[in-house]
Structure 1
Amino acid sequence: MQTEVVGGGGVRLGVRVVGAEQSRPIVFVHGWAQSSLAFSPQLADPGLAERYRLVAVDLRGHGTSDVPVEGYDDPGLWAADLAAVLEFAGAPAIVVAWSYGGLVLTDYLRVHGTEGIAGIVLAGAITELGRGRPGGKVGQAMRAALPDALSEDIAVALPALTTLCDGMASRPVPGALAQALLGSCLSVPPAVRAALFRREVDSADVLAAVDVPALVIHGTEDAVVDVSAGEYAAGKIVGARGRWFQGVGHLPFVEEAAEFTSALRQFAGGLLAR
């Protein structure tokens, strides 16, 4: 089901929903210049859908959501967006944050703490932003794509975004999905793609204050977000468990969909048991 919620500043956020309304919710938050379509393997998994309510949001400026002119550097708005999604999903929820989605999650934690959150999963995620911040270290594929990927000139941006999408996975992914990833990039206006990087984020204290179970999943061959960013988050969050997917890139939930989904089921099942 496709629907929408109203986030910070009245921005309409598109959400995809699968599963029973009364079930424990799992909320999926995608990355920079992507959309909820990235989590298609999980939304289509009957084992997850039968037991959990799966809610995948399109961030502001992405996918089916509104594209406001400003606000992409405001942690309060990002926090309000995720708060609206959690309220819709039916908290407490498990939050799965991929790539830039990790920043959105830390924005929420900075404002609300872990209110409404049962557990967090960081998948190839950054939790910081800015030069020299270990939680935001990017890989070669992202460095090579910038700044051309931010250009309004399609002749400049398209090759950079194509190269970036090609570099997301360490092994071939289905052609339809590969094209969907590129299509998601191109659907995000260049001004939005650029605005997402115009802030400095330090999350050491935020991560250290997390008091719910946490799982960090990161591919050892991630060329978009360096594996050290995942190691940093796992080291800061008390009691966090790390799962390093060997030979996997920036799309662990696609490249090793079965293993990723199994790890998510195990993590969620442990929370239900508690």
Structure 2
Amino acid sequence: MRTEVRGADGVRIGVRVEGVHGEPASPAPVIVFVHGWAQSADAWELQLSDPRLAEHFRLVAMDLRGHGRSDVPGADAYGDSRVWADDLAAVLELAGAPAVVVGWSYGGLVVTDYVRVHGTANLAGIVYAGAITELGRDQPGGVVGPAMRNALPDALSADDEVARPAVRRLCGGMTVGSGGEAFVDDILAVPAHVRAGLFRRTVSSAGVLGGIDVPTLVVHGERDAVVDITAAEYVAGKIPGARTRWLPGVGHLPFAEEVRTFDEELAAFTRDAYRKVNR
């Protein structure tokens, strides 16, 4: 099912809902998925259609503002942590709280923005998957790998002849094997002012991460060439009690490169997080 909510400043946020809903007196545990830069809710297709998840959880995937089926506001609508936090808050209200929220790549920063503004209210747990939590020069939670470094700034260009080769280089480095190339057209479908707008801020999150008080799992491919694994190590070191799952031979798409492992870890983590909520 596809629907929408109103996020910050009335921006329409596209939402995809799958899985079970449960009974009113006993709703199903909820997992909310937040995709990365220049992607959409459909990046989570393998999770949304996996019976190991869909038969037991309510699965909710959002399109970030400017992406997918969401509204595309102007260039100045992407630089404030509060707008990202409030967009996610609107999705969480639709999804039913508390929820386990999964942030991939830039989605990890959006999740962190939510905590920055709203704390851990309505969260049962957090999963950072190949994620950044900071942005800007010398921010340890935002260290990128060679595939991203080699793509910027050309991948942000409004000139398709400049952007396409850079995006192709980036996508070629997303996975250890083949598969990342399938994202080229999806990335270029996101308007250039959105692609660039997401990078026009500097965000430090050390204090925010240190205050997270819900179960947290950090999942990262050991061969991620888009977000360096040191960014994940930084997150895990800041969040009290954070669990880690390093995946050997895996790049920037742990949920696609190791679907079974990722989904089983996510299901187990969600059940455990909900047991803590219901104590």
Q: What's the TM-score, normalizing by structure 1?
A: 0.97
Equivalence map 1:14-163=2 (5 Å): 14-21=14-21, 22-69=27-74, 70-163=76-169
Q: Is the 8 A contact 2:103 2:111 kept in 1?
A: yes
Q: Report the number of matched residues.
A: 270
Distance 1:249 1:125 in 2: 12
Question: Root-mean-square deviation (CA), in Å?
Answer: 1.0
Shift of 1:183: 2.3
Match of 1:207 in 2: 209
Q: 1:256 aligns with which of 242, 255, 258?
A: 258
Q: Which stretches of structure 1, 4 residues or more, deviate above 6 A after TM superposition?
A: none
Partner of 1:170, secondary structure, is: coil
Distance 2:85 2:252 in 1: 24
Shift of 1:178: 4.2
Deviations 1:42-85 (A, max 9, x none): 00101211111000000000011100003200111111000000
Match of 1:216 in 2: 218
Q: Is the 8 A contact 2:148 2:225 kept in 1?
A: yes
Match of 1:231 in 2: 233
Query: Counterpart amino acid of 1:46?
Result: P
Distance 1:93 1:141 in 2: 32
Structure 2 portions without partners, runs of 5+:
22-26
Shift of 1:171: 1.4
Deviations 1:222-274 (A, max 9, x none): 00000000000000000000100001000000000110001101101212333
Partner of 2:64, secondary structure, is: coil
Distance 1:187 1:25 in 2: 30
Distance 1:7 1:155 in 2: 34
Match of 2:12 in 1: 12
Distance 1:172 1:110 in 2: 36
Instruction: Among all aligned residue pairs of Structure 1 and Structure 2, give the percentage whose two residues are the same amino acid.
Output: 61
Deviations 1:78-103 (A, max 9, x none): 11000000000001000000000111
Q: 1:183 aligns with which of 185, 194, 203?
A: 185
